[in-house]
């Protein structure tokens, strides 16, 4: 079938007639000009793929009529230009592809048909941990240990890069996936197969939205969806509502992009943007750098939207030049965007499109802030931090409470570290990490941290030696400009040495705390604190011994590390007293915006980006030395505890099986609100008393060799045992936190995996009951694969986070939602009942089903 929109194809340059594009701005009825810019990208992708197999003309008309149909749950297909993956989600994807090839061969097909069709980039950034810090060789020692632990995984990924076409691996030590995408991988405009069209991307990491800050439409998807896209299938999505977020005014001099994004996160959580696009507009956008915009777009999952889009403007084009992109390609990019009406001028209100809803923020009203102690949307002004923490201490156990008895609020535990005596109390900082692509991608906050460190050292301030400090940049460019600007040595003097290039503390790879610190925390049952420049602080995520975790800008991370406690009012109390007896306040060492901008203009230059990225795929000698097999089919090693052929394709047939009614299911777990994918499938350390630990021990491994759950996502036997294994899990059947449940036939309290195994052996199906926002957080497909392997057939919840719901669908676990106004409480459900869920043969999205209790 020929493309019905071929009439609006034209050459970009008469001198290059073969380079064409779809010029939708030529449509005469004015509909295109009123579309949000994010919807225009969907429209371009639909027209480019308009044929009888992928996208029908009616789908294009629906997108073009967005304003009319946006509230009608109209589904449209979207085929993104690229896919990106990180290694924690990438390993299971490559494992699935390898198993698919085996299954296709068994069915008599060509296994090499299982191959990515669109470009797929996999960045290895999730494996490195902060095992060593506060020493000049921390980086090398952590990287050596990373390879020692993950050699088998890395060999497997290297096999995948050779066995599959269109799959590129960015080796470990290169940086964080989203920062590498921003600085290197993103095209903004694709030039492929004789056509120009907007770059777009989906990724197997929820913070893929960071690239929206550069004007590339992208968002996180489940691993199963990403695999489908890589195999040439479009994503079926409900045409979203688009919330216009109007930015006005200028930020105050002491405010950072971190403060802005934490303010926006709280605001949009209150507005309610789940399942919607957010598109930024207004004159305030022009005051933000691309790094600032990327920081705001990065935390899109934390405020619940699908995408957080900043259309391309001249600042975006300038960023492409600053980061060393090819100048000729940048010129074509700008020319194309101008031709199709997609180059934005934020000061020109006549370009403002129609939106579903408009909300506003005056940037001048933003104040320095943090978020915590347990959720990223719980913003606290820095001026209120001391009071807020002390209120949380005594409040009822919950997102803003620790339920510590009033007579214990001022408890102190003495301990010895490296021959010196120290004290810990509630609120003592034990982890201070400058980490995560959210902030390390932004030169203004990184140089701000460096300049603050310089002034702190010159003023005679220090950081207590037991505090675990670390600096894990998102790319080598950061180290380059920190070193060239002369601030790296000051960061090192405060303990913030570079410990690795990866996600590290932000994803729970914070490594061990000193034993004497852990003993003091345990002895006093203290609410110890982690402060990090990350994007998530859910319970149990950062470290098992930090019950309170606050998100903060890099300069504030250093400030709280120097103070040693969160219980400080920076306006009234000094950070410390130097050797001369002088009190040093935060205002004395905080760098001005002009200071930071002067250094940034001088030292963040295109040559740095070119030098770092031209050798990114070859610079890691340990990776180059890996010997990977060259066979197109993977040879599984039955002794491996990292890579195992999954059972998902066992018994695969060419005919599709019809869904079946779920009869007399038991409830495995009953939850309240905001159960995250970290609760369902943790990524961090494997507890020594867990089912996964018992399995690994039975295979001859010692606890030192356990590594993390995230690193073992290529082995279903470990991951099934790690499902619902978070030590902070709150199950309504149990009166304390922990990964246990009641096996109702026997009445015994068991580890969740052991209970599920008993149900499975007896032939009993299982379901899970939950409240609002079930599956919030990371886009990990194992949060759906794990319950599937435990025998969970359905989840009944009040609401779901988008990516997790999609993953459940992909695994055949039915995401059931209570009818409006109903929940377990209104229906009188305790979870101790048996449930029969009537599933008709012909299923439709949004249909009602009957449940018998």
Q: Would you say residue 493 has pLDDT above 80? A: yes
d(CA 636, CA 643): 8
- For residue range 737-761, what is the model confidence (pLDDT) as tens digits? 899 999 999 999 999 999 999 999 9
Mean pLDDT of 677-682: 92
What are the tens digits of pLDDT across the range 530-573? 999 999 898 888 998 999 999 999 999 999 999 999 999 999 99
Residue 491 contacts by C-beta under 8 Å, 6 or more apart in sequence? 449, 450, 453, 471, 482, 497
Residue 692 has pLDDT above 70, yes or no: yes
**φ/ψ of residue 99, rounded to 5:** -70, -35
Q: Pick the residue with more confidence: 23 or 214?
A: 214
Task: Give residue 564's region: left, alpha or beta (phi > 0; psi -120 to 50).
Answer: left
420-431 residue pLDDT tens: 999 999 999 999
* Cα torsion 755, 757, 760, 762: sign: negative
Please provide the distance, in angstroms rounded to a whole number, between the alpha carbons at the two ends of the chain.
51
Q: What is the pLDDT of residues 114-139, one digit of tens each?
A: 999 999 999 999 999 999 999 999 99
Domain spans in the chain, listed from the N-terminal domain onward? 6-63+74-78, 369-578, 662-852
pLDDT for 71 equals: 85
Question: Do 369-578 and 662-852 come out as alike in CATH topology?
Answer: no
Do residues 731 and 750 make contact, with C-beta atoms less than 8 angstroms apart? no
pLDDT value of residue 4: 59
Q: Does domain 662-852 have CATH number 3.50.50.60?
A: no
pLDDT of residue 76: 87
φ, ψ dihedrals at 686, nearest 5°: -95, 115
> 369-578 architecture in CATH?
2-Layer Sandwich (3.30)
pLDDT in tens, 272-300: 998 899 999 999 999 999 999 999 999 99
Strands 662-670 and 740-743: unpaired
pLDDT score for 1: 44
How high is the pLDDT of residue 192? 84
Q: Is the sign of the CA dihedral 35, 39, 41, 45 positive or negative?
A: negative
Share of the chain above pLDDT 70, in %: 98
Highest mean pLDDT among 311-320, 601-610, 843-852: 311-320
The pLDDT mean for the chain works out to 93
* pLDDT score at 54: 62
pLDDT above 80 for 778 = no
pLDDT at 22 over 90: no
Main-chain dihedrals φ then ψ at residue 105, nearest 5 degrees: -65, -40
**In terms of Cα–Cα distance, which of 275, 205, 209, 298 is closest to 778?**
205
> Percent of the chain at pLDDT above 90?
78
Residue 372 has pLDDT above 50, yes or no: yes
> CA–CA separation, 717 vs 724, rounded Å?
14
| 224, pLDDT greater than 70 | yes
User: Can you give the pLDDT at residue 184?
Assistant: 95
- Exposure b/e, 787-811, CB count within 10 A at least 16 = b: bbbbbbbbbbbbbbbbbbbbbbbbb
pLDDT-derived band at 52, boundaries 50, 70, 90: low
- What is the average pLDDT across 805-817? 93
Burial 253-272, CB ≥16 within 10 A → b, else e: ebbbbbbbbbbbbbbbbebe
Q: What's the mean pLDDT in 522-529? A: 97
> What average pLDDT does range 662-677 have in this prediction?
96
Write down the residue that tokens 């931090």 correspond to. 385
Count of CB atoms situated within 10 Å of the CB of 655: 5
**Quick one: pLDDT band at residue 3, thresholds 50, 70, 90?**
low
Total-model pTM? 0.88
| Residue bearing tokens 């036997």 | 717
CA distance 613 to 315: 22
Relative to beta strand 662-670, strand 835-838 is: antiparallel
Read off the pLDDT of residues 93-115 as tens digits, 9 standing for 90 and up. Answer: 999 999 999 999 999 999 999 99
Rounded-to-integer distance, Cα 672 and Cα 824, Å = 10
Does residue 747 contact residue 832 with C-beta atoms inside 8 Å? no
State whether residue 684 is helix, strand or coil: coil
Q: CA nearest 682: which of 527, 544, 546?
A: 544
More reliable by pLDDT, 667 or 19: 667
Report the alpha-carbon distance of residue 560 to residue 834 in Å, rounded.
51
Cis peptide before 373 (omega within 30 of 0): yes
Rounded-to-integer distance, Cα 218 and Cα 199, Å: 9
């Amino acid at each position: 079938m020929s493309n019905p929109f071929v009439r609006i194809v034209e050459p970009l340059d008469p001198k290059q007639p073969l380079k064409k594009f779809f010029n939708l701005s030529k449509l005469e009825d004015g509909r295109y000009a009123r579309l949000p810019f994010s919807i225009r990208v969907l429209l371009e992708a639909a027209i480019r793929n308009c044929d009888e197999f992928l996208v029908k003309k009616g789908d294009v008309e629906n997108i073009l009529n967005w304003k009319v149909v946006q509230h009608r749950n109209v589904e449209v297909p979207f085929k993104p230009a690229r896919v990106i993956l990180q290694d924690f989600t990438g390993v299971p994807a490559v494992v699935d592809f390898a198993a698919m090839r085996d299954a296709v061969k068994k069915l008599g097909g060509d296994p090499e048909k299982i191959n990515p069709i669109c470009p797929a980039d996999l960045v290895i950034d999730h494996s490195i941990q902060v095992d060593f810090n506060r020493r000049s060789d921390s980086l090398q020692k952590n990287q050596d240990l990373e390879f020692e632990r993950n050699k088998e995984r890395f060999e497997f990924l290297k096999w995948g890069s050779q066995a599959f076409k269109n799959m590129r691996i960015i080796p470990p030590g290169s940086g964080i996936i989203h920062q590498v995408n921003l600085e290197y991988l993103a095209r903004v405009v694709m030039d492929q197969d004789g056509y120009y069209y907007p770059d777009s991307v989906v990724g197997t990491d929820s913070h893929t939205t960071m690239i929206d800050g550069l004007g590339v439409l992208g968002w996180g998807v489940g691993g199963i969806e990403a695999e489908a896209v890589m195999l040439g299938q479009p994503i079926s999505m409900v045409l979203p509502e688009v919330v216009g977020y109007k930015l006005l005014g200028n930020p105050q001099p002491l405010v950072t992009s971190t403060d802005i994004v934490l303010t926006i996160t709280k605001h949009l959580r209150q507005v309610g943007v789940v399942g919607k696009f957010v598109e930024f507009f207004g004159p305030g956008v022009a005051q933000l750098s691309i790094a600032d915009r990327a920081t705001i777009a990065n935390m899109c999952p934390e405020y619940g939207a699908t995408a957080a889009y900043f259309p391309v403007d001249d600042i975006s084009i300038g960023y492409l030049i600053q980061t060393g992109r090819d100048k000729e390609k940048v010129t074509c990019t700008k020319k194309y965007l101008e031709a199709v009406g997609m180059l934005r001028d934020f000061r020109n209100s006549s370009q403002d499109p129609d939106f579903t809803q408009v909300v506003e923020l005056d940037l001048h009203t933003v104040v320095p802030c943090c978020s915590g102690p347990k959720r990223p949307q719980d913003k606290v002004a820095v001026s209120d931090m001391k009071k807020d923490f002390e209120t949380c201490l005594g409040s009822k156990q919950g997102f803003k409470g620790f339920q510590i008895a009033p007579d214990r609020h001022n408890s102190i535990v003495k301990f010895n570290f490296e021959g010196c005596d120290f004290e810990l109390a509630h609120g003592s900082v034990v982890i201070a990490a400058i980490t995560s692509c959210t902030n390390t991608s932004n030169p203004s906050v990184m140089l701000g941290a460096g300049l603050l460190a310089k002034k702190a050292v010159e003023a005679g301030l220090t950081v207590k030696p037991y505090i675990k400090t670390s600096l894990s940049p998102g790319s080598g460019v950061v180290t380059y400009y920190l070193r060239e600007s002369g601030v790296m040595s000051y960061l090192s003097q405060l303990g913030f040495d570079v410990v690795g290039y990866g996600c590290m503390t932000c994803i729970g790879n914070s490594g061990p705390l000193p034993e004497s610190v852990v003993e003091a925390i345990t002895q006093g049952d203290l609410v110890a604190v982690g402060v990090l420049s990350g994007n998530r602080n859910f319970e149990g995520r950062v470290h098992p011994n930090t019950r309170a975790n606050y998100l903060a800008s890099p300069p504030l991370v250093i400030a709280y590390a120097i103070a040693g406690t969160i219980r400080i009012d920076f306006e009234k109390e000094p950070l410390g007293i130097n050797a001369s007896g002088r009190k040093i306040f935060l205002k004395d060492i905080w760098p001005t915006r002009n200071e930071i901008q002067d250094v940034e203009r001088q030292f963040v230059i295109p040559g740095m980006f070119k030098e770092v990225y031209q050798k990114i795929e070859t610079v890691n000698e340990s990776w180059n030395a890996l010997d990977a097999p060259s066979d197109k089919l993977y040879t599984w090693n039955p002794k491996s505890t990292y890579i195992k052929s999954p059972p998902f394709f066992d018994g695969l047939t060419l005919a599709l099986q019809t869904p079946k009614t779920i009869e007399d299911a038991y409830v495995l777990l009953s939850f309240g609100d905001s159960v995250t994918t970290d609760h369902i499938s943790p990524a961090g350390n494997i507890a020594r008393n867990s089912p996964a630990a018992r399995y690994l021990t039975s295979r001859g491994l010692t606890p030192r060799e356990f590594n993390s759950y995230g690193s073992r996502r290529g082995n279903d036997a470990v991951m099934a045992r790690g499902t619902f294994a978070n030590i902070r899990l709150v199950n309504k059947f149990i009166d304390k936190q922990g990964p246990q449940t009641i096996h109702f036939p026997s009445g015994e309290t068991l580890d969740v995996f052991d209970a599920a195994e008993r149900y499975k052996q007896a032939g009993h199906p299982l379901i899970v009951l939950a409240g609002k926002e079930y599956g919030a957080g990371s886009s990990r497909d194992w949060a759906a694969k794990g319950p599937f392997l435990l025998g969970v057939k359905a989840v009944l919840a009040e609401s779901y986070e988008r990516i997790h719901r999609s993953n459940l669908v992909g695994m055949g676990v039915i995401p059931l939602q209570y009818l409006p106004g109903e929940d377990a409480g209104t229906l009188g459900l305790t979870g101790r009942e048996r449930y029969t869920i009537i599933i008709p043969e012909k299923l439709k999205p949004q249909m009602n089903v009957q449940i018998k209790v």
